[in-house]
Amino acid sequence: MKESSKSRQSGRPRQNFYTRHEAVILGGLSIVLIIGVWQVCWMAGLISPLFFSSPVAIVKQFRYTLVEGTLLADMRYSYTNFAIGFGFEVVGDYQLTRFKAEPANRGHVLDRGLWRYTRHPNYFGDATLWWGLYAIAGATPGGWLTVLSPALMSFLLMRVSGVTLLEDGLKASKPGYHAYISRTPAFFPWFPRVPR
């Protein structure tokens, strides 16, 4: 059955992303194409540490470390940073999934486990993981150029789409969230503050 181009609810023509942005701009490029190209460039920039920390680069890094002996401390820091970030993200997501699975927790705030030390352990882990990838990439020739990736991810997680955006909704939907904010750091893990 062929679907009508009119909305069933209002009888007016459908409005979706593509029909709203059919206007042609910038000498023949549609807004959809511009957004698509921007997204590809943005993602390529974000994943650039992965290109520099490829297996070939890591093998070269190990060989250089064994021969010259200078990068060993950098490598330990890099992989430790990555492992800590990965651990925070996985454990934080696991704890949140288990908490949400319990019907009795609906409307309550998770303040146990890693969530006792930071309101967003999964976001902290994600940012730390990216800085670990950068540290791995930074030890390779030209790898320092990838610093924009973890810096941008950290900024987005802390100030744009992560903590800030999520907390606005949580303040409104969870009554105990204001008390949780007063005692728990937002991003970087630390011991809970004692309310005065």
Q: For 100-145, how does the pLDDT look when each residue is reduced to its tens digit (9 = 90+)?
A: 999 999 889 999 999 999 999 999 999 999 898 888 777 777 777 7
Based on the fold, state whether residues 73 and 152 are members of the same structural domain. yes
CA-closest candidate to residue 139, choices 191, 83, 39, 68: 68
Helix (H, G, I), strand (E, B) or coil at 24: strand
pLDDT of res. 118: 96
Structure tokens at 2: 């062929």
Based on the fold, state whether residues 29 and 116 are members of the same structural domain. no
Based on the fold, state whether residues 114 and 131 are members of the same structural domain. yes
Distances (CA, A) of 150 to 20, 77, 87, 102, 139: 34, 16, 17, 34, 15
Cβ(136)–Cβ(53) below 8 Å: yes
The residue whose two tokens read 């993981």 is 129
Across residues 78-100, what is the average pLDDT? 92
Residue 191: inside a domain: no
Based on the fold, state whether residues 37 and 60 are members of the same structural domain. no
Q: How far apart are CA 153 and CA 125, in angstroms?
A: 11
The residue whose two tokens read 């200078």 is 70
Based on the fold, state whether residues 22 and 90 are members of the same structural domain. no
Residue 150: inside a domain: yes
Across residues 34-46, what is the average pLDDT? 66
CA-closest candidate to residue 65, choices 73, 55, 54, 53: 73
Residues 6 or more apart whose Cβ sits within 8 Å of residue 114: 88, 91, 92, 95, 121, 189
Q: How far apart are CA 135 and CA 127, in angstroms?
A: 12
Based on the fold, state whether residues 74 and 139 are members of the same structural domain. yes
36: confidence class by pLDDT, cuts 50, 70, 90? low
30: confidence class by pLDDT, cuts 50, 70, 90? low
| Domain ranges, residue 12 | 1-46
Based on the fold, state whether residues 42 and 91 are members of the same structural domain. no
Q: What is the mean pLDDT of the chain?
A: 76
Domains identified in the chain, total number: 2
Last residue of a domain, one of 28, 46, 64: 46
Residue 194: inside a domain: no
Based on the fold, state whether residues 121 and 30 are members of the same structural domain. no
Residue 195: inside a domain: no
Greater confidence, 31 or 85?
Answer: 85
Cβ(61)–Cβ(139) below 8 Å: yes
Residue 190: inside a domain: no
